[in-house]
Amino acid sequence: MIRLEQFTQADFKQLIEWITDEELLMNWSGSLFSFPLTEASLAWYIEDTNDLHTSDAFVYKAIDDTTNEVVGHISLGGISRKNRSARISRVLVGNSQERGRGICQGMIKAVLEIGFEQLGLHRIDLGVYDFNQGAIGCYTKAGMTLEGTSRDSLYFNGSYWSLTEMSMLEAEWEQRYGQRKVLQAAR
């Protein structure tokens, strides 16, 4: 099982070590960061995050409950309390040899649980580059629904990347994972 904990300055070094090249950085973050990833850019990234009542972004490290090791990174941002919506982004299973073990699916389920159960959201979406079939498979297994593709949305190293959009609604969460226990204060 995967649990999420707040991503802090103490986690910067490990994330920087995981992001080994510009293409991986671009796949992970789009154009948000420049290569190489730095502690200064990560300090900016976590400013004003992870406050349940005021933040519009939550940034997490993913921990494998079996080994207690940090195995990944994920964020939930673009939170609109008015529209009760958010966007999953910057999903990374840190060790590429660990991919295919269900870590990604566990991370997605954990962040969806935070969004639907703690924040009382109605809709959570994400974008994934269409060539990343492993991630698309992970998100589908976690219950995300394919919505469409934004064609040629990012230009990188001489070619365009298309972005596949996926989402889950609160009723789909309830059907797949059980009753919601939303704190009324979060609404």
Within the chain, strands assigned E span: 2-6, 58-64, 70-80, 85-93, 123-129, 145-156, 159-169
pLDDT for 179:
58
Residues of the chain with pLDDT > 90, as a percent, come to 87
- Give the CATH number for residue 89: 3.40.630.30
Question: Does position 184 have pLDDT exceeding 80, yes or no?
Answer: no
DSSP 142: T
CB 106 within 8 A of CB 93: no
Report how far apart, in Å, the C-alpha atoms of 169 and of each of 35, 40, 83, 107, 156 are.
34, 35, 12, 17, 32
Residue 52: the pLDDT is: 85
Mean pLDDT, to the nearest integer, of 141-159? 96
Half-sphere exposure (Cβ direction) of 159: Cα atoms closer than 13 Å? 6
Among 58, 73, 82, 60, CA closest to 24: 73
C-alpha–C-alpha distance, residues 171 and 99, integer Å: 29
Expressed as residue numbers, the domain containing 98 is 2-186
Banded pLDDT at 55 (limits 50, 70, 90): very high
Task: Return the pLDDT at 183.
Answer: 43
At residue 53 the predicted structure's pLDDT band, cuts being 50, 70 and 90, is confident
Predicted model pTM: 0.91
81-92 residue pLDDT tens: 999 999 999 999
Return the pLDDT at 96. 73
User: For residue range 21-44, what is the model confidence (pLDDT) as tens digits?
Assistant: 999 999 999 989 999 999 999 999
Residue 98 CA to residue 176 CA, distance in Å, equals 26
Q: How many CB atoms lie within 10 A of CB 14?
A: 13
In three-state secondary structure terms, 139 is helix
Total tally of structural domains belonging to the chain: 1
How many other CB atoms sit within 10 Å of the CB of residue 112?
Answer: 24
pLDDT of residue 144: 98
The tens digit of pLDDT for each residue in 75-132 reads 999 999 999 999 999 999 998 777 778 899 999 999 999 999 999 999 999 999 999 9
- Residues 128 and 144: beta-carbon distance below 8 Å: no
